[in-house]
Chains A and B, each alone.
Chain A
């Protein structure tokens, strides 16, 4: 009996070994193409960044030349939609990096606890101090009211002057647009407790409120308003792309609110090193030089060739910016004031 019992475990072992070998061979054949496959870095960003006319294509090409990876942009509406998307996906997100939030959204983004610290301390060319453990700036701009010099000889020099004039403006709805939210914080940062009073005075100057930036800018170009909420760099687009120097940005004495656009690494990323590499790359010449003439914003690192013409044509004397926490705290009351003042 013993003699008979003995071989069976051996055979079983042999079988097991063979199974193991087969399994190993199988895994190897499965693993080989997986090893050969280039890693994918998924960057969630806003639509206009990835479009043919945004920085996306140039950035993708330049990064892929250095990273031995596949950089994939996933567009998700605008900046505010981006935050909602992150909150929807939570830790299950495929994205490794989120690019395109601004400082009015970063406090809410931090609160999701989905972002990881970047651990970097770069010197950036910003008119204000800005440092955030989770988010690195990649470009910035000043909000401003843009007008047509041939139609408006003397633009107002402050919100109060604008409110006192019969100039008409188009603005964006803060509930659906990041510039609209920026304007809300601009008035709040400049006037504090007087913000509602300013909005009430402005209400007869506002032709209408649009869902997004492009609708407002389109209405302005069609002549529906004297001025539109946009950026100090908007006239540079017309100057460079259309050789049209009739557009200008009105400089306000109370200062101009800034939009700083940032990127952050998601804590749940499966490509942490690649994500870090991308954040480093973001502050290099190859990325930054693409920004001015695709995103029409200021780069955070001035390219060696300098800024395109017209970028410094309208330089505010004073920059305004609420910290992310202040902006977060100011948002809801400021919106309520805005609604109350304009609904009157």
Chain B
């Protein structure tokens, strides 16, 4: 540590505190309005079910992502770069749209059951715990793949060359290069996915098949909307945050830096082993491409016919959504850079926690709490867009932070002392060292943040005024007025715009890094 205080050393903890306040103050406000903290007897089974489905979803998503990321890391083929970009798409689908896409493939009258029927085989049902996990894997496998692939690409060429000159076979390469990298990347990836799935709402109810699949978030709905028991809602929300916080702390203890040391940034892929491993990689990539693209194709086919008849109000709503997404992404990126740089300098459990718990936030309690905090001062609907920006920033920050952290750690380990000795500080350090070296994960992370923020993340409902509808709100209004075809088309527009934003940032980052 340098002796004089850097602005970052103050900014990052301050940002972490603000972020924690943004997430915790609404819970406190809801608790304060409620009549004391309490839990019902059914709530513990909701907690159990939430953790079970989130755990299974995280394990399947990350474990299945390892072979996919490895195949992408060591194979070069036409369309590889396109495939990597396309893999961002499922993650960006609004939950309801993703469910409809999955049902077109796996549903009762979906493509898969049509094939099974033609073959004279019994139909399969997607409804139940397995369906919930399938949907979560569909949504999160791409994220896990990208995070792990990032890890593979960060193994310095010098290590790979050394391994090659030592005659490492695939198993030695795995033991000495890939396993340490996975040790660093996997816990974080699994934890992010676990916490995302913990709060998943529409996917779990719709595919869960009934009240067996009651999650914490659904219990919160019941507490707020059915019983108006704000104390219980706040307790449940607090519990959910606690589980998220514990997961973050566990990861912070579990993950170990791989310590590969610095390299000269030459692009050198791992040697691609021939033989059955080649066939295995091909098969893996083909299967995952099919799994991820079929539902998206279904969403596109469903939405295309209605595009011409879309109501004009879709256009301004799309404009508002893009604006919200860009501002949220900008704020989230700046905050995540500051926090991950500070975290890379030393152990900062508070920053680690602040960068994770927003994922475990209950959308309903966050919205309700902010409403309670704002309502005494201004009519909440006048602040609909600023609140949406702020909330989207907080909720997309954890992804960015998690994506940046391995890279900022490597950056600090490899260049920190050099930069310190050169007195490269402040803006010039950011300009000449940090931003260039972080370009690839920054582009990817900002893309994720922007695209996620297009989706509103479910908090705007309490604040929405008459004339500030964002695209997701227009979609739900269309669906609520029987206009399912128009809703499908507007959803296709939302998905396309999200993907375009994601692609622009991601490609920008990769170009800047190349």
Where the two chains meet, the residues of A that have a C-beta atom closer than 8 Å to any C-beta of B are 47-48, 50-54, 72-77, 80-81, 83-85, 87-89, 92, 94, 108, 168, 173-176, 181, 203, 206-215, 217-219, 221-225, 234, 237-238, 241, 294, 296, 331, 335, 338-339, 342-343
Interface centre among B42, B224, B482 (most CB of A within 10 A): B482
Contact of B207 among A84, A94, A208, A338 (CB under 8 A): A208
Q: Which one of B133-141, B354-362, B375-383 contacts A?
A: B375-383
- For this complex, 19 residue pairs linking A to B, each with C-beta atoms less than 8 Å apart, are A74-B466, A76-B462, A80-B225, A173-B218, A176-B221, A181-B226, A206-B210, A208-B206, A209-B205, A209-B206, A215-B96, A215-B99, A225-B108, A234-B482, A294-B481, A338-B211, A342-B211, A342-B212, A343-B212
Min Cβ gap A261→B in Å is 14
- B313 at interface, CB cutoff 8 A: yes
Where the two chains meet, the residues of B that have a C-beta atom closer than 8 Å to any C-beta of A are 33, 42, 96, 99-100, 103-104, 107-109, 127, 201-202, 205-212, 214, 218, 221-222, 224-226, 228, 311, 313, 368, 371-372, 375-376, 379, 381, 461-462, 464-466, 473, 476-484, 487
Contact yes or no, A88 B372, CB < 8 A: yes
Interface centre among A210, A215, A338 (most CB of B within 10 A): A215
Contact yes or no, B368 A53, CB < 8 A: no
Contact yes or no, B226 A335, CB < 8 A: yes
**Binding site secondary structure of chain A:** helix
Contact of B379 among A94, A181, A237, A343 (CB under 8 A): A94
Contact yes or no, A207 B480, CB < 8 A: no
A220 and B261 alpha carbons, distance in the complex (Å): 57
Min Cβ gap B340→A in Å is 35
A173 and B209 alpha carbons, distance in the complex (Å): 10
Contact of B225 among A89, A176, A209 (CB under 8 A): A176
List the count of A-B residue pairs having beta carbons below 8 Å apart.
Answer: 152
Contacts of A50 in B (CB 8 A): 466
Contact of B482 among A108, A207, A217, A338 (CB under 8 A): A217
Contacts of B225 in A (CB 8 A): 80-81, 83-84, 175-176
Contacts of B127 in A (CB 8 A): 207-208
Given contacts A75-B466, A88-B371, contact A175 B226 (CB under 8 A): yes
Nearest first, the 9 closest Cβ-Cβ pairs linking A and B are A223-B109, A53-B481, A214-B479, A51-B477, A48-B480, A175-B222, A342-B210, A339-B211, A80-B225
Contact yes or no, B211 A53, CB < 8 A: no
Contact yes or no, A173 B205, CB < 8 A: yes
Contact yes or no, B228 A75, CB < 8 A: no
A342 and B482 alpha carbons, distance in the complex (Å): 28
Given contacts A51-B480, A72-B466, A175-B222, contact A92 B211 (CB under 8 A): no
Contacts of A84 in B (CB 8 A): 224-225, 228, 368
Contact yes or no, B205 A222, CB < 8 A: no
Min Cβ gap B467→A in Å is 10
Contacts of B201 in A (CB 8 A): 211
Given contacts A88-B368, A175-B218, A221-B484, contact A211 B205 (CB under 8 A): yes
Contact yes or no, B100 A222, CB < 8 A: yes
Contacts of A222 in B (CB 8 A): 100, 103-104, 107, 109
Min Cβ gap A163→B in Å is 15
Min Cβ gap A182→B in Å is 13
Contact of B209 among A52, A207, A211 (CB under 8 A): A207
